[in-house]
């Protein structure tokens, strides 16, 4: 990501048009196994925090992992139990 992708900086008008949309990155094998399509939304819940973002399928991401856009979406505490669901 470009300079200025901090959680406050990205909300400025000058940066909003330059920052990519936040997505959850999912590996190709997981996307096939779960029947996920590019752009389909998934929801991750950890403790009291829920984040719903579209999926971006990435060929090289290892099976069993989800890429998370730190700084572009609300923080999720991985110290809490995490659940993932399709849709919003």
Put simply, whether the predicted model's pTM sits higher than 0.75 gets the answer no
pLDDT score for 66: 87
| Band of pLDDT at residue 8, cut at 50, 70 and 90 | low
More confident residue, 87 or 7: 87
Q: CATH assignment of 22-86?
A: 2.40.40.20
pLDDT score for 31: 94
Task: Answer yes or no: is pLDDT of 37 > 90.
Answer: yes
More confident residue, 8 or 56: 56
3-state SS, 25-43, equals: EEEHHHHHHCCCCCCCEEE
Task: Show me where the domains of the chain are located.
Answer: 22-86
Nearest-angstrom CA–CA distance, 65 and 49: 19
| Band of pLDDT at residue 32, cut at 50, 70 and 90 | very high
Asked if residue 66 lies in contact with residue 24, where contact means CB atoms within 8 angstroms, the answer is: yes
């Amino acid at each position: 990501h470009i300079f200025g992708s901090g959680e406050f900086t990205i909300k400025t008008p000058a940066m909003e048009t330059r920052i990519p949309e936040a997505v959850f990155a999912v590996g190709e094998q997981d996307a096939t196994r779960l029947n996920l399509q590019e752009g389909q939304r998934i929801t991750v819940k950890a403790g009291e925090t829920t984040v719903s973002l579209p999926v971006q399928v990435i060929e090289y991401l290892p099976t069993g992992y989800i890429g998370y856009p730190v700084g572009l979406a609300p923080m999720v505490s991985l110290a809490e139990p995490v659940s993932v669901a399709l849709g919003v």
